[in-house]
A and B are shown apart, each in its own frame.
Chain A
Amino acid sequence: MKKVKSFVIGVLVLFLALLMVKPMVWAGEEYKVTLEEWAKNKKFFDDPRPFLKELHPKKILPPDVYAKLTYDVEAMKNLWAKVVGFRAPEVVGKIAPEIKPGHYTYKDKEKYPGFKELMTPEYYKRFNPGAPPFAGNFSEIRIVPTRQYYYALPVAEATQKNEGSSKLDDNGILKQGTYVAGFPFPRPSGKLMANQLIYNYLYRYFNYESTCYALSHSEGFSKSLRRDRHTEGDNYSLRLQGRVTMEPYGWFDERAKKKGEDKSYLVTYTAPRDYVGNVVSWSIYLDPDKFNSLLFYVSALRRVRIMTATDLQQPGGTGDIIFADPEMYGQQLSTKIYPYKCEVISEREYLVPIVTDGSEYFSSEGAEMRNFQFERRPVYVVKMTQLDKNFVYSFRILYIDKETFLIHAIENYDQKGRLYRSAYTLYSFVDEMGMPISSILNLIDHLDMHSTLTLMFYTPAPWIGRKHTELQGLFAKGK
């Protein structure tokens, strides 16, 4: 026992010594915002502080990194308008023109019946005070003038340079090897237009080219708006192909090219208690007929377990989204695995919420969205009809921004034609980086009557490499 005590004291001394030499430890350049810093600047409920101003990339990134990721705004605006063929402010304002920028409450719906046409059906229903059964209602909004969104100069340049190189086969599936970089179809058209839009989303460039360190905080609500689920964590995301803003450009490495890797992620949890120490590593492939790879460090077993990535229909997170849909929608188009028939059913404008400086917030009473601005956006409405009756959804409706190719909302209908789950992403925008960021996610399960609100924060992270997202990361971050 005496020897054990000496050993324990020795270990404690070692701990203290390590603490003291903390500044000297081999620290990589991992600049990021931590969960604590985020929590200090923004509480989940009832906090109108404009935290995105305080946690702006300019204040987080080393000056040389920030400089590399910022570009001339006018140049970006002009080039992106040239690439897509328009600027959003020029193509909106035609539906319910009497609804002008200004402040409105839900009571104005009677005065302005045009809101019904201007909002998606689900957003129109939620334009009400916060109340059961779902979180995410909004009783008042401020409509702001539509603005032009654009992408980082290298993204626009790559898109322009490679326009026409991406090819779809007769089934609307992207031919492997034809995509290089940028958005594959900046001017979607023709009978496969809907497929082109899906590929634009699959090859999206938001969230700092998907090479970023992200924080997230989710709250789940039962149908009485009782909070029943809470998760917090961080995630490391690495884009492995089509890299244009961060080195290495193009393919991340030879292996990514050989194996046709798209992205890899590592997700860790700091809450709730049972999730702490669990880590998920996810590798995504470009080949539509090749399933992704999913490794899970299970803290309760202290082991890495390989999980099947084929259970696409399994609910994940708080249960309001399925594994097929990380970041709203994630299924590759395929003729073999849950094939879809895709069609554009409408091109029109919708009023959608945006995130500006982070002063938007949720109320603890009624889980209401407050301080939100809305903007008219030109939108493609795409219907994806699932051809395999074994899939949980019979069809999906996607509302895709015409200018950014990002999904504002997705409605998923079950095999009986009922609205089953819907998801809404609200984007903020970093002007000098030409970068839309998915900042808020609202998920609804219309059948189980459950909803989720998620706040997210991203930091561009050129320092992220494979060691952060693969096996090594699982053991380093696991319990």
Chain B
Amino acid sequence: MKKRFLILFFVVGLTIVLAASSAIAERLVVFGRPLDLYFYITQNLSYSLLDKDKYDTVKGFQGALNNLLVEAGYGATDQLKFYVSAGLTTDFMYKIREDGRAWNEKLFDQSSKNLYMDHKYWQILKEAHATWTPGNFFFRVGKQIVKWGETDGFRLMDQINPSDSRRGFADVEFETSVIPIWLFRAEYYLPQKPSWLQSLGFEFVFNPNADFIPNQGPRTGNDEGGIWAPNALARGPFPFGEARVGSTPMDIKEPGSFNSDGYEYAFRAKGVIKDAVITLNYFYGRDNDPVLLTAPIPPKITVASDGRLILHPFLEGKYPRLHFVGGTFAKDITPLRVDFLGGISPVIRLETFYAFNSTFVNNKNAYERYDEFRWAVGVDWGVRIPILNPTNSFSISPQFYQRTIIDYPEINELKGLKKNNYTTTLAISTKYFHQKLTPSVFWMYDITNKANMYRLQAIYDLNDSWQFVLGALWLHGEKFGKGFQLFDNKDYLFFKVRYKWG
């Protein structure tokens, strides 16, 4: 017990010592140029809201995620800058519950190899790049993030960098959820242009596939996916009428390091016309999610502590080609400002792409290829409701997303997808107490699968250094084995403390 909390106390103690130290708060000057150092440390605690004992969760505290991020930026000249960030993510719950009976019986302890401490080099070394901006050019080379698109909460155009969602949906930090990869990026901005064109730039991104890193999602099986392993069940002639889908050995073909098979090319023209931000996008590369087939080998079978069988099917697959053209549009629609709502106009955001020959898996366990079309629209609208908040407006942001498979097969359904698939989200937030308290509500509704995610959260910024977050997440789905139904038992309360320095 003592040992389990030692690490936590050390981290907290270190934070307090650093917070009290002013000596390390000075900006450094190296060879006459600024070296800026920043760091933050967060400690999160999550507590299950479920009062029943379920196999895919534990009652009480179920996560103690600690994130430490250190950043350094050096401006060698006005045009040449270097940036490095490194982080350490540790879930101390693996130590705290190490000897817990339920934790071990349900095999959560075995996921420690994946989820106790992120130890791969690309998880520790976040970004490392040099940026050079001579004249109207921009060059950036190194491990970096390139984000496209206008939508929040789901990724449409944003396909260059993989993401890490192994630890759930709610309390994610940007620095831990987007994975920087080795890229070369070049941009050029036209200095002379017609007067109707306010800005125009061209961006080219090349991924040499130095290290293929796909999306990191929650794995099935408590022994692999930990507390976020989806509750995937297979109905059939099993004891209790159903068996769990557990951890799955996988053989997924990846393009080799620096192999041209893994090269990616992305091109974007971005401009401002009549105060609207418009982009045209082209991408040719690999999907960061694999397409998986069940291998023609009988699954391994084990038995869960609740008596149900656990199936461990062998999966094989690949990261298919992703090839699309698309565009985005965003504009402040000032004619729509309405006085009685506070006189604030909405900003509309549109995003769309058309993908060629995307690969899917049908319900006969075979690949099929179809074009697909995705689009999303979002609105950000500030509304003043003085009776609820006399100082700040409420930010209301609905979004709608559709994914359509062109020439959807008539006979064999595609796994996990209908011909048209719809999702909508709504986010509402405001600020109180002189911008220090930010309560918010976020709702995502997977229309196709009739599944909901709700998140309530309040962020309190005591000052520039200390931040506290309290929130809760609920997940629910009506269709068996689809959407958020797989996470029905994952409702939880979370509390986070964050200390920032720099």
Contact = CB atoms under 8 A, between A and B. Distances in A.
Contact of A14 (B77, B141, B152, B349): B141
A315 interface: yes
B29 interface: yes
Contacts of B79: 25-28
Contacts of A229: 463-464
Interface in A47-70: none
Nearest to B198: A470
B332 A390 contact: no
Given A15-B130, A30-B78, A310-B332, A7 B201 contact: no
B82 to A, nearest CB: 6
B345 A308 contact: yes
A306 B347 contact: yes
Interface string B25-62: 00101000110101110000000000000000000000
Given A3-B210, A310-B345, A467-B136, A258 B195 contact: yes
Interface in B117-172: 121, 128, 130, 132-136, 138, 141-142, 145-150, 152
Nearest to A445: B434
A22 B332 contact: no
Contacts of B345: 291, 308, 310
The winner among B135, B136, B191, B391 for most chain A CB atoms within 10 A is B391
Nearest to A255: B195
B240 interface: no
A199 B340 CA distance: 28
A295 interface: yes
Interface stretch (B101-109, B267-275, B480-488): B267-275
B254 to A, nearest CB: 13
Contacts of B346: 308
A301 B36 contact: no
B258 interface: yes
A3 B262 CA distance: 14
Contacts of A472: 136, 138, 189, 199, 201
A25 B134 contact: yes
Interface residues of B, number: 85
Contacts of B358: none
B435 A308 contact: no
A285 B340 CA distance: 25
B501 interface: yes
A304 interface: yes
A36 B29 contact: yes
A356 B163 CA distance: 54
B199 to A, nearest CB: 4
A319 interface: yes
B210 A7 contact: yes
Interface string A249-283: 00001110011000000000011111010000001
B77 A27 contact: yes
A307 interface: yes
A230 B393 CA distance: 24
A467 B191 contact: yes
Contacts of A108: none
18 contacts: A3-B257, A4-B121, A4-B182, A18-B80, A25-B77, A28-B78, A230-B464, A255-B198, A272-B500, A273-B40, A304-B277, A305-B330, A306-B275, A308-B345, A314-B382, A390-B384, A448-B391, A472-B201
Interface of A: 1, 3-4, 7-8, 11, 14-15, 18-19, 22, 25-28, 30, 34-36, 39, 226-230, 253-255, 258-259, 270-274, 276, 283, 290-291, 293-295, 300-315, 319, 337-338, 388, 390, 392, 445, 448, 450, 466-467, 470-472, 475-476, 479
